[in-house]
Chain A
Amino acid sequence: MKFQIEDVTVYFPYDHIYPEQHAYMVELKRALDAKGHCLLEMPTGTGKTIALLSLITSYALSKPSSLVKLLYCTRTVHEMEKTLGELKLLHRYQRLHLGDAARTLALGLSSRKNLCINPAVVSAENRDSVDAGCRKLTASWVRALAVENPNIPTCQFYEDYEKAASDAVLPPGVYTLQDLRAFGKEKGWCPYFLARHMVQFANVVVYSYQYLLDPKVAGIISKEMQRESVVVFDEAHNIDNVCIEALSVSVRRQTLEGATRNLNKMTQEIQRFKNTDAGRLRAEYNRLVDGLAQRGNLPIGDTWLSNPVLPDDILKQAVPGHIRKAESFVSLLRRLVQYLKGRLETENVEKEGPVAFVGSINAQVGIDQKTLRFCYDRLHSLMLTLEITDTDEFLHIQTICDFATLVGTYTRGFSIIIEPFDERMPHIPDPVLQLSCHDASLAIKPVFERFQSVVITSGTLSPIDLYPRLLNFNPVVSRSFTMSLTRDCICPMVLTRGSDQLPVSTKFDLRSDPGVERNYGRLLLEMVSVVPDGIVCFFVSYSYMDGIVNSWNETGILKEIMQHKLVFIETQDVVETTLALDNYRKACDCGRGAVFFSVARGKVAEGIDFDRHYGRLVIMFGVPFQYTLSRILLARLEYLRETFQIKEGDFLTFDALRQAAQCVGRVIRSKADYGMMIFADKRYSRHDKRSKLPGWILSHLRDAHLNLSTDMAVHIAREFLRKMAQPYDKTGGSGKKTLLSQEDLEKVGNGSLGEMLF
């Protein structure tokens, strides 16, 4: 359908639209017009993604002179693929209506590991080896050598891509990672470098959060984006954690040992170069006098992860004199490593701010703050000079320099925590030095400054006023939408007791109680016999899941569960989990039915949808609080209290409940879908916990469902499933419209729609 929102003609690839999608677009359009940031919460299952894509692309089409470009950030690669899938649908529709005027280029961007088509390189185990394998074939000096010596291997795809030079372009269209690989294979061009090149010309770029948030990656990928671009962070309820993680580093004994090995290797290399090609080192010295700004001119094959802080100011300065010489820089790093080793020897837990830490470094080994800041780039320059291609071997020294640069740059919002052992296992010495970031606004600040419109959206952003504080920005639009349902297709319940009326909880004192484990098991057992197709269970942690599954196995509950449905489990091995998910879907497709055990805050909870028959019921066993004894968390809570006046308890509850809401929210994809959600913990019945759930869940949580026992829940589930099996009128019948056709939209016009809805 095609309709007007003020001056923009919106192309929407379906015959109908949900009223909330329309309202969402209106708000989004206002934010774009105001050239400001916005914060939008809309329940899952109302088609956020397509509404976003459809409005922003239509906006760009209606204003061809503007440079509006969409940078769409997803948390995971599989979400990227899903988004591109929806974009394809939209693009097809726009082409149908506008013809060639709708020609756009949209592509997904990922690492070499996911894009490389050179079989010799891509078969490597992990990403770092693929990156290094690629560099070994494509670094400028390797290629220069290969010109003289044909025995030196190069990558044919990269060579062909280089040869094609400016002819190597992607024709307009929508490219998923798979499409990119297929295109690359067909043309014989390297898809990774092609994609990186085409990012500048693309109208829509879909990539992972880190490509914008993590300065290490953003520095090379996203540096050439126009200010007019619209940045979207989808599923952004965890964005503060992503920001924090991007700026946190930890150092262990193994890291320091590895770093020492790296330094030895480098010393050897320097010696070799001194004997053979002393001019190279001298040239580097001269270059460093002028500053590091040459980075932009490096051949594309030579770049790698960039500075961990956005290096705008660093690049323009000259590198301090005493680290311009290669040997002196290496010896400085040796001193730093030695100092860190000494700090790790501690027997007590220590906590320091960055200022004190830098002061102590300066006092003990004589490295000042400014020098520390340059460490990462100086290392980078040195490794290029030494023509090191196996970068995966040098990760440890990179970590140390990362650490040094971060600690030298920021004076607040960080703390350094040294723990001699993990307090869960006090008898095993495992010293670790953690530089942890507490302030999410540090990493996202450059994004807000560089781009005129940043859209932060998710199904769970409650309380919506907290995010601007955490991220330190001023949205022009901040709005939370409710969901108008045709029928009560979601059924949240709070289960507080087992059939024997004993309370269930994952609270610390009840957690390993056999009665609670048994009650949880009986709950699942009752549910698998009632609910058809797929059931998803979320546990509070891996260790808890492992424990309870083993206990169910011993008591025979697991066996009984397996008589009804197959059981699949998320493990820490991603390959295995992916295959388990694939099999889970197969089992649901073929009608056998299955249960999937997963972990809140785990990888599955982060982005796998369990919509339609893949998830008719989610059970959240317990409240997924963070591990509250963790010192990093305590330090962060302290920082939040001092800086933003956010109480510890409030933040912990907020964080646990957004995870829980996120887990259960994965069951609904559209209004035709339906699913039940069971919050199985007595603590959910308390008002202070429950009220932190997003509004769209709360509005369906009836008072009668707040304090259920297992048998009552089973009864409600039966009733609900029977009700959902009845045919119904999709448009919402005579009352409120929940599905609008084109005529409906034209009839009500733009203005009155909002009032009709809410």
Chain B
Amino acid sequence: MADGQVVKRAKYKSSIKDPGVPGVLTMTREKCVFKPSDPSSTAKLNIEFKSIKGHKFTKEGSNKHALLNITQDQGGNYIFEFNSFPDRDVCREFVATAIASSVEAGRTGSERSAVPLHNEQLSTAEMERRIKLLQEDSELQKLHKQFVIGDILSETEFWATRMKLLDDKASRKPKQRVGLKSDMIFNVKPSSDGQSNRVTFNLTPEIIHQIFAEKPAVRQAYLNFVPIKMTEKDFWTKYWRAEYLHSTKNIVAAAAEAAEDEELAVFLKQDDILVNEARRKIRRVDPTLDMEADEGDDYTHLPDHGLPRDGSKDVMDSQYEQYRRSFLQDLNRHAAVVLEGRAIDVELGDTRSVAEALARSKQVELANEASDGNVNQERLDRISRMAEIEDLQAPRDHPVAPLSIKDPRDYFDSQQANALKTFGDTLAGTKQMTSDLSTSEAYGSLRESISEIKAVGLRAPIVKPEVALKVLNGLNQNISSTKYQIGKNAHESVLDRLPKITRDELLLHWTSIQELLKHFWSSYPITTTYLYTKVGKLKDAMSKIYPKLRDLKESQSDFRHQVSLLVQPMLQALDAAFAHYDADLQKRSAKSGERPNGF
């Protein structure tokens, strides 16, 4: 719904009393369009969501009309009457999300159009969400206090970089479908009280669900027997009795019990539903796996031909055959059910509804399979894919879409210009190296020096030995002292060794610098006065932090070295920002010299 469009039958009313023009309301992301059924009618509407400020609606009630009132920011409003409340609600929600997204779009757009943003209209929900986020995250709160309350950033600017945070919270679905557990939970051991022969089984809804999913015969029996023939408790008692008989592996005893008790026999016998399902599924199995076909082709193993193999000996009388069941089969069945995943969407409390829902889902599956014709084709494609040897053949279809550039020269020229510009931006002041050496000259000199080195060898070392030694010593000292300070525990971070106050201070500076720099760099290139003032403010805030950092770095303590190591990159980042700011300012003033009325 959110990504598509909504089409509903509705009446357009100019006022509430108006009888309305019947027609079709189509809503897409950007706009809503109303087309009257009578083509000659003039009540055609085309409203962009951008211009819509809000919406109102009537409460659901028996004698009220399902109305939706959309308010435009110029003051106009449109009233639609729907045939039913569900229809209206669908549209209402759509309008709400559409308005929200257009507000967002407007926000980013408005930054560009330099409209001051403090008059932003916030829904209460939005506000609450932000407050909640701030409450949850103390660090965020600190930043918010420092910058927004300190009037360095506006509220919108602060949140604009955290759009994701807001979105995620909003779009996260509370309900997630839970898969089945890999465990065979119904394979529970009974608890016994140790004195009598009595054992107790604890059944949870989850266990019952698993039993029903894996043993359709039990499910069917439940639907048939409970509660007409027996109570739920009796049913499960019988079930566990049958399980017990299986676990003893005494097939003859099981057969004897089954002969006496026909309900018990249901649990003891082979699961017919499963057998049928297997027969159905075997037909759609990958032929490169189909061992059943193989058996059909095996003339060596005619009955009594060939050599007896391991395990094939325990043939038994056919009257007991149907009571045979192995744990291995249960394992296979369990894994298959887990793989299929949870098929039903019912609360697990009510046993009967679970059983019914499972039975229904099986029928749906059957119907789907019957109608699904192209499974076969898919299977064949798969086989032919599998037949190929992967590395002898260059991969067929690349998953990556090829880059399509209409005019390559145009594209690369512009790229080059961009690169040059940024180069100029960051290294403003340093001159570009220009050389008027021709290629042949350069080549000649290079060759000369190479042949010289070849002839003479590298006589003079590139670095003077004493300098090299000094650098090496300096570096080693640093490393060894750090090692000494940090100790042998590699997991301990440098921060943990610092006194708490220093650490907190450092972290605070770090986060605030990050925040500021993020805003700072995202404001370039400066195209509007709004950005210009913003950058100014940011620069001021940063230059306030700068001396603090320097103090921290220079403060005398045992950890001076570590602290300075940590502070150094921050200072460098700030220096880079200042340099860029200054360069930009110079460029700007130079430009404004030519163009005095530039902003």
Give chain A's interface residues, CB within 8 Å of chain B.
14-18, 47, 50, 76-79, 81-82, 85-86, 88-89, 110-111, 113-114, 126-128, 130, 176-178, 208, 210, 214, 216-217, 242, 244-246, 248-252, 255, 305, 395-396, 399, 402, 422, 432, 434, 436, 541-543, 546, 549-550, 553, 559, 562-569, 571-583, 585-587, 590, 592, 594, 599, 601, 603-604, 607-608, 612, 627, 632, 669-673, 730, 739
Chain B residues closer than 8 Å to A16, beta-carbon distance: 391-393
Contact with A along B527-545 (1 / 0, CB 8 A): 0000000000000000000
* Interface residue B373 (Cβ < 8 Å from any Cβ of A): no
Asked if A76 and B310 make an inter-chain contact with CB atoms under 8 angstroms apart, the answer reads no
Known contacts A566-B182, A601-B309, A601-B310: A251-B278 contact under CB 8 Å: no
Residues of B within 8 A of A562 (CB): 182-184
Contacts A85-B288, A582-B289, A608-B289 given; does A47 touch B386 at CB 8 Å:
no
Given the interface contacts A88-B384, A567-B331, A568-B335, does A113 sit within 8 Å of B297 by beta carbon? yes
B window 266-303: CB within 8 A of A: 278-279, 281-282, 285-303
Say if the beta carbon of B307 comes within 8 Å of chain A: yes
B417 at the A interface (CB under 8 A): no
15 A–B contacts from the bound complex (CB under 8 Å): A78-B289, A111-B299, A113-B293, A113-B296, A210-B299, A245-B306, A396-B304, A563-B183, A573-B329, A579-B336, A580-B336, A586-B339, A603-B294, A608-B289, A669-B390
Is B312 part of the binding interface, using a Cβ–Cβ cutoff of 8 Å? yes
Tell whether, in the assembled complex, residue B282 and residue A579 are in contact, meaning their CB atoms are under 8 Å apart.
Answer: yes
- CB distance B299 to A214 under 8 Å? yes
Q: A79 to B292: give the CA distance in the assembly, Å.
A: 13
Known: A114-B293, A248-B307, A632-B307. A47 touches B282 (CB 8 A): no
> Contact at B296–A114, with CB atoms within 8 Å?
yes
Knowing A16-B392, A583-B335, the reply to whether A78 touches B294 (Cβ < 8 A) is yes
How far apart are the CA atoms of A89 and B301 in the complex, in Å? Answer: 33
CB distance from B20 to the nearest CB of A (A): 52
Q: Given the known A-B contacts A77-B297, A113-B296, A583-B336, are A578 and B389 also in contact in the complex, defined by CB atoms under 8 Å?
A: no
How far apart are the CA atoms of A220 and B288 in the complex, in Å? 27
A547 to chain B, nearest CB (A): 11
List the A residue with the shortest CB-CB distance to B383: A85
| Cα of A559 to Cα of B311 in the assembled complex, Å | 26
**Does any Cβ of A come within 8 Å of B380's Cβ?**
yes
* 10 closest Cβ pairs, A-B complex: A113-B296, A85-B387, A14-B392, A672-B391, A542-B311, A245-B306, A566-B335, A77-B293, A77-B294, A81-B287
How many A-B contacts at CB < 8 Å in the complex?
236
Contact present for A559 and B183 (CB under 8 Å) = yes
Chain A residues, Cβ within 8 Å of B76: none
Contact A399/B302 with A542-B310, A568-B335 known, Cβ cut-off 8 Å: yes
**Most B-side CB within 10 Å, residue of A562, A565, A590:** A562
The answer to whether B287 touches A78, judged by C-beta atoms less than 8 angstroms apart, is yes
| Chain B residue at minimal CB-CB distance from A81 | B287
For the complex formed, measure the closest distance between the CB of A640 and the CB atoms of chain B, giving whole angstroms: 15
In contact, A578 and B292 (Cβ under 8 angstroms): yes
Contact surface of B with A, Cβ cutoff 8 Å: 182-184, 187, 278-279, 281-282, 285-313, 326-329, 331-332, 335-336, 338-339, 380, 383-384, 386-394
| Shortest CB distance A179–B (Å) | 9
B184–A559 touching, CB < 8 Å:
yes
In the complex, chain A residues whose CB is within 8 Å of the CB of B298: 127, 208, 210
CB pair A569–B328 under 8 Å, yes or no, is: yes
Q: Is the CB of A81 within 8 A of B288?
A: yes
Q: Which residues of B contact A739 (CB under 8 A)?
A: 391-392
CB-CB under 8 A from A81, the residues of chain B are 287-288, 290, 383
CA distance A255 to B303 in the complex (A): 9
> A177 vs B380: C-alpha distance in the bound complex, in angstroms?
12
Question: A242: which B residues are within 8 A, CB to CB?
Answer: 300
Q: How far is the CA of A398 from the CA of B303 in the complex (A)?
A: 10
CB of B310 within 8 A of CB of A581, answer no
Is the CB–CB distance between A210 and B339 below 8 Å? no
- The residue that A78 contacts in the complex, of B293, B306, B380, with Cβ under 8 A, is B293
With a cutoff of 8 Å between Cβ atoms, the chain A residues found around residue B306 in the complex are 245-246, 248
Q: Contact between B297 and A575 (Cβ–Cβ < 8 Å)?
A: no
- Cα distance A395–B307 when bound, in Å? 17
Chain B residues in 8 Å Cβ range of A177: 287, 293
**In the bound complex, CA of A178 to CA of B381 (Å):** 13
Whether A436 contacts B307 by the Cβ 8 Å rule is yes
B308 proximity list for chain A (CB < 8 A): 250, 432, 434, 632
A670–B391 contact, CB under 8 A? yes
- Please give, as numbers and ranges, the residues of chain A lying within 8 Å of B296 by CB-CB distance: 77, 110-111, 113-114, 126-127, 130
Whole-angstrom CA separation of A144 from B336 in the bound complex: 50
Which residues of the partner chain A approach B312 to less than 8 Å between Cβ atoms? Answer: 572
By beta carbon, the residue of chain A nearest B310 is: A541
Which residue of the partner chain, among B285, B307, B384, contacts A244 with CB atoms under 8 Å? Answer: B307
Sample of 8 more A-B contacts, CB < 8 Å, known A85-B387, A242-B300, A305-B299: A77-B294, A177-B287, A249-B304, A432-B308, A579-B281, A579-B332, A594-B335, A670-B389
Alpha-carbon separation in the docked complex, A671 to B389 (Å): 9
Instruction: Give the residue name and chain of the A residue nearest to B328 (CB).
Output: A569
Of residues A127, A577, A672, which shows the largest number of chain B Cβ atoms within 10 Å of its Cβ? A127
Task: Collect the chain B residues with CB atoms within 8 Å of residue A559's CB.
Answer: 183-184
Q: Are A50 and B389 in contact (CB under 8 A)?
A: yes
A586 to B384, CA, bound (A): 17
Query: Which chain A residue has the least Cβ–Cβ distance from B312?
Result: A572
B394 touches A88 (CB 8 A): no
In whole angstroms, what is the CA distance A395 to B313 when docked?
Answer: 19
CA gap between A607 and B295 in the complex, in Å: 13
> Is the Cβ of B291 less than 8 Å from the Cβ of A88?
no
Contact B278 A576 (CB under 8 A): yes
B292-A399 in contact (CB<8A): no
| Contact between chains at B335 and A546 (CB < 8 Å) | no
Chain A nearest CB: distance from B252 CB in Å? 13
A578 to B335 alpha-carbon distance, docked (Å): 14
Partner of B285, one of A216, A305, A579, A599: A579
Chain B's closest residue to A432 (CB) is B308
Bound together, the chains give a CA A65 to CA B278 distance in angstroms of 50
Q: Which residue of B lies closest to A1 (CB)?
A: B392
A78-B290, A89-B384, A568-B332 in contact; A216/B299 too (CB < 8 A)?
yes
Which A residues lie within 8 Å of B295 (CB)? 126-127, 574
Contact B310 A571 (CB under 8 A): no
How distant is the Cα of A128 from the Cα of B298 in the complex, in angstroms? Answer: 11
Instruction: Kindly identify which residue among B279, B339, B388, B389 contacts A587, using a CB–CB cutoff of 8 Å.
Output: B339
